[in-house]
Structure 1
Amino acid sequence: MIAFLLSPVGRWLAGAVAALALLLGAYTYVDHKGYQRAAAHYEQQIAATAAALAEADANEQRRQTITNNAAKQREAAAIAALESAEADNLELRRRLASEAQQDPDADRVAIGDAGVQRINKIR
């Protein structure tokens, strides 16, 4: 076998195998570096996307908080208006009940003019 490797054909074949191994090693090295560059590039893209998502989430949380606070203020104003209207209504009913008790025609079978006016005030 050593004689074959020392022959011109053996040397040529050994040189070709060595060159092929050298090319394969160079390709593997270059491809590995390319993989590392691509991995770093996509890791940066993923990090940028994650940062953008975190910022968008924070913005959405802020927007929802502002919207909820505005809705709570509107609700409080509406509740205050309803309570005021209810107080006015109760006062009107008390006044009308007092007027009904003082009405001289309260014992009549039919409703008098004062009774009709009281009923119309409730509408």
Structure 2
Amino acid sequence: MLAAAQEPAIQAVVTDSAFAEASSLIREKSGVPGILLPECLLAAKLLYGIDYDQVGPVDVVAKIAPRPLLLIHGTADDLVPFENMLQLAAAARKGHDAHVQTWTLPGMAHVSGIVQDRSEYVQRIVTFFQKALN
């Protein structure tokens, strides 16, 4: 999503279990004690040039419009909570002439849709791209 928001040559986007904001996800799921987290985030920025406070697909996803976007997410995702898809979809729909589709996978965990029903998963994505790229 971050690349597509900046690169118009990307004609359609599919995501599975995408996060809305990296920094909030790291704060919730990293297991790093809260008192040490600011230092860890600073170390990542200094060592690797990654500013996790700036990695927020929710802030740029609307720029993908009018190109088609498909968001896939399982409701039982314990790594990236399902609410991330709802946030991304709402933000994406604010784009001019947005074409946003969502596919909710009831009871499925993080990126498990392809494992649970590979045939349907592949077919839905192929169909999405066939329509998007024609």
Structure-1-length-normalised TM-score: 0.16
Higher helix fraction (1 or 2): 1
Q: Which has the higher contact order (CA 8 A, sep 6+)?
A: 2
The higher radius of gyration belongs to 1
